[in-house]
């Protein structure tokens, strides 16, 4: 059976992403930190790792970029999960009797308008599924949590309200990490990390290697270099496979103009599912 590591406790959205990609016949292995996922895959304790990298509402997961820089794993695939927040409580609870809602701060922020509309008091907790697990273990009157439908199922909680997120386009993008390169796909995306010399026009010249070959960039973001204050590392996603002639030429050009390049992988590009209850941002 395929073993996939994720951060959090059973019922986390990362585990839901695992089931979405691999199906129900998969062994999900929880880890305390993201770093432990990378180590487990490197050691062979897990076949793959599920790493969140960005949310359409809350932005990037900063620690993911640092771990991708430090470890030598490959991006095997990407998964885009529609994050559907559920309000849940102990069986028999009534929505009118709820006064306090617990969850991860990001989940609370993504449901802020809903909480304010109902007059609920938000109480931050370590994570979403952990909030569900803890409430099931120590029931409290008037307390509900925000977590996934999977968490409600695992911990025997009753869903009081569904899809309470403020925006229908609430998606989280995950990388599936492996020690092996992904098989070639019909529609691919490539991710890499690079740094530039500290001189005028350096980033412009690096980006020009892709622009002059009409390669579409889907993401570029700068992150601080931890070992060099006030210098930055750039994270780049673009459409195409690193072995495509134009992409390969662009990467070779980037190697000539940059001071460091690390190819993270070429992998099948995921499709963003259309939300049932609202419009989707395009771009």
For residue range 2-12, list pLDDT tens digits in order.
999 999 999 99
Looking at the chain, the whole-number percentage of residues with pLDDT higher than 70 is 96
Give yes or no for residue 227 having a pLDDT over 80: no
For residue range 85-125, list pLDDT tens digits in order.
999 999 999 999 999 999 999 899 999 999 999 999 999 99
CATH numeric code, 188-267:
3.30.70.260
Q: What is the pLDDT of residue 272?
A: 83
- Return d(Cα 267, Cα 191) in angstroms, integer: 9
- Return d(Cα 252, Cα 213) in angstroms, integer: 12
For residue range 63-90, list pLDDT tens digits in order.
898 999 999 999 999 999 999 999 999 9
Residue spans in the chain of domains classed CATH 3.40.190.10:
3-83+170-178, 86-161
Task: List active site positions.
Answer: 172, 174
Residue spans in the chain of domains classed CATH 3.30.70.260:
188-267
The CATH superfamily assigned to 3-83+170-178 is: Periplasmic binding protein-like II (3.40.190.10)
Pairing of β 143-147 and β 188-195: unpaired
Q: Which residues does 187 contact at the CB level (< 8 Å), separation at least 6?
A: 268, 269
Q: Which residue has the higher pLDDT, 74 or 198?
A: 74
Pairing of β 100-103 and β 143-147: parallel
- Return d(Cα 210, Cα 198) in angstroms, integer: 20
Q: What is the pLDDT of residue 198?
A: 87
Helix (H, G, I), strand (E, B) or coil at 162: coil
- Return d(Cα 62, Cα 65) in angstroms, integer: 6
Domain topology for 86-161? D-Maltodextrin-Binding Protein; domain 2 (3.40.190)
Q: Strand order of the sheet with strand 158-161?
A: 121-124, 100-103, 143-147, 86-89, 158-161
Q: What is the pLDDT of residue 190?
A: 98
CA of residue 170 relative to chain centroid, distance = 12
Q: How confident is the model at residue 275 (pLDDT cuts 50, 70, 90)?
A: low
Model confidence, pTM: 0.90
């Amino acid at each position: 059976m395929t073993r996939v590591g994720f951060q959090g406790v059973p019922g986390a959205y990362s585990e839901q992403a695992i089931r979405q990609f691999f199906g129900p016949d998969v062994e999900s292995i929880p880890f305390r930190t993201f770093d432990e996922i990378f180590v487990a895959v490197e050691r062979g304790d897990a076949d793959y790792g599920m790493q969140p990298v960005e949310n359409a509402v809350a932005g990037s997961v900063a620690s993911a970029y640092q771990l991708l820089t430090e470890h030598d794993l490959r991006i095997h695939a990407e998964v885009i999960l529609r994050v559907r927040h559920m309000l849940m409580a102990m069986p028999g609870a009534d929505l009118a009797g709820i006064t306090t809602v617990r969850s991860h701060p990001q989940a609370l922020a993504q449901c802020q308008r809903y909480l304010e509309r109902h007059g609920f008091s938000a109480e931050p907790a370590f994570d979403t599924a952990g909030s569900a697990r803890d409430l099931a273990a120590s029931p409290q009157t008037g307390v509900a949590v925000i977590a996934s439908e999977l968490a409600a199922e695992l911990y025997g909680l009753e869903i009081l309200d569904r899809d309470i997120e403020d925006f229908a386009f609430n998606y989280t993008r995950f990388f599936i990490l492996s020690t092996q390169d992904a098989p070639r796909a019909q529609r691919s995306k490539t991710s890499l990390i690079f740094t530039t010399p500290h001189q005028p026009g350096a980033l412009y010249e690096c980006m020009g290697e892709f622009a002059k070959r009409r390669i579409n960039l889907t993401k570029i973001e700068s992150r601080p270099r931890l070992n060099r204050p006030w210098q930055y590392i750039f994270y780049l996603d673009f459409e195409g496979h690193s072995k495509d002639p134009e992409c390969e030429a662009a990467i070779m050009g980037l190697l000539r103009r940059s001071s460091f390049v690390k190819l993270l992988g070429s992998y099948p590009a995921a499709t963003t599912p259309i939300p049932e209850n609202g419009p989707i941002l395009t771009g």
